[in-house]
Amino acid sequence: MPELTLEHPPEVGLTPVILLVEDDPGDALIVEELLTDSGITARLRWVPSLAGALVALAETPPPHCVLLDLHLPDSQGLAGLEVVLRQAPAAAVIVLTGLIEQQVGLAAVAAGAQDYLIKGRVDGELFGRAIGYAVSRKQAEQAANALQVERVRAEENARLERGLLPIPLLRSAPVDVIARYRPGRASALVGGDFYDVVEADDGTVHAVIGDVAGHGPDEAALGVCLRIAWRTLVLTGISGPDLLYQLERILLAERADPGVFATVCTLVLDSGRRAVRVMRAGHPGFLVRGAGSVELAEPAFGPALGVVFGDPGFKHAGWTEETVDLPEHGALVLFTDGLFEGKLSRTGSARLGEDGLVALARRSVLLPGAEFVDAVIADVEAATAPGGGLADDIAVVHLQWSE
């Protein structure tokens, strides 16, 4: 005989509850005897009406199984079943019918009940088997539903990731792009970090990296929106502070919460590959790799997007473009703050910081691009607490060019 078990057991010392909704005291007594004969260990609670059932369904712990008579003083037919199913989505529901109402029992199963029992045609063994199977089916149904939710969630995450992880749009520019995106340990969803690299019609190479504050689907969607907007604006010839101003307008229109902001760093690599023009809106600096060296570049910056707005006088919010000279045969490494904000495992409180990141990067300075990026991320994971790993989402973009 199937045992009545709980997928999520009640607190220690509590017994699973079977709720009987039956207006006939004689039938209620029969059900009590059947439960005794079935060998099931459970507490039977009896209420004579649908109104009483609604009160019982709201109590803690909630009933694990509901035995429902379809003919009650305040409910007739499948209407009461619909109410119980709505109020007790986790309970296995078995309807009780008369001998001539077998078709009604089948209709109840089609409407969502796990089973039906015909009064007067049930013994203790059949009663126990029906309850055990009903509970098992309900638990299997809930597990399948949870699996479907996770499957849909994974598909949504994959779509968001495809938007956050673009294919660089380069036609002829001799620029090698190595990008990594890593969600932090605590992130159930992809975050709002984003990046992109495109070549304009005049051959100049533009790059962006940004970070929308937060880790949920709204932030991830906003990150995708900003990335696509940035690409569109760049390809239509908009650059400089006007570019950040337009991105801020889009952020203000699309963000789900007025407290959401985004940091952004954009750069333009000149045709001679000797310098980059950089704008920062609250974003960290970037690493400059030379022949055996790694330095942190921190050009002038203005406020993050979404922080200063609403007054036409603040159209450009203090964003300025600064030129940074590049070493011969060098490379740039753009990153989001998740790469250096983790706490050091040896202290548990001090953060790695940008100086710590530079020190780790110098360990691997002689490695080629992809190996360098992977080594830096691995070193950061090993250095930060607890137990290694990233505390936040990160995006890293390594740009290297040839003459």
Query: Residue range 72-100: average pLDDT?
Result: 90
Q: In angstroms, rounded to a whole number, what is the distance separating the alpha carbons of residues 319 and 279?
A: 7
Give the number of domains in the chain: 2
CATH number, position 339: 3.60.40.10
Residue 218 located in a structural domain: yes
List pLDDT tens digits, range 391-403.
678 899 999 987 5
Query: What's the Cα-to-Cα distance from 188 to each of 78, 158, 218, 295, rounded to whole Å?
Result: 40, 13, 13, 34
How confident is the model at residue 375, as a pLDDT?
Answer: 96
- pLDDT score, position 41: 85
**Does residue 43 have a pLDDT over 60?**
yes
CA distances to 41, 57, 129 from 90, in Å: 19, 11, 19
267 and 292 housed in the same domain: yes
pTM here is 0.63
- Average pLDDT, whole number, for the chain? 85
Percent of the chain at pLDDT exceeding 70: 86
Same domain? 332 vs 186: yes
Answer whether residue 8 is part of any domain.
Answer: no
Answer yes or no: do 337 and 198 share one domain.
yes
Same domain? 171 vs 27: no
Residue 259, pLDDT > 80, answer yes
* pLDDT average, residue stretch 231-243: 93
Note whether 177 and 135 are same-domain residues.
no
Last-in-domain residue among 120, 150, 180: 150
Residue 206 located in a structural domain = yes
Q: Do both 179 and 326 map to the same domain?
A: yes
The pLDDT value recorded for residue 315 is: 58
**146 and 201 housed in the same domain:** no
Do 81 and 218 lie in one domain? The reply is: no
Residue 6 lies in a domain: no
206 or 101, which is more confident?
206
pLDDT > 90 fraction of the chain, expressed in percent and rounded:
49
Q: What is the DSSP letter of 344?
A: B
Q: Are residues 225 and 112 in the same domain?
A: no
Same domain, 374 and 328: yes
Residue where a domain stops, chosen among 115, 150, 185? 150
Q: Look up the CATH number of the domain holding residue 126.
A: 3.40.50.2300
Phi-psi region of 314 (alpha: psi -120 to 50; beta: other; left: phi over 0): alpha
User: What is the domain range of residue 69?
Assistant: 17-150
| Whether 239 and 350 share a structural domain | yes
202 domain-assigned: yes
> Distance (Å, rounded) from C-alpha 256 to C-alpha 341?
25
What is the predicted pLDDT for the residue at 165?
74
pLDDT score recorded for residue 5: 42
- The reported pLDDT for the residue numbered 389 is 57
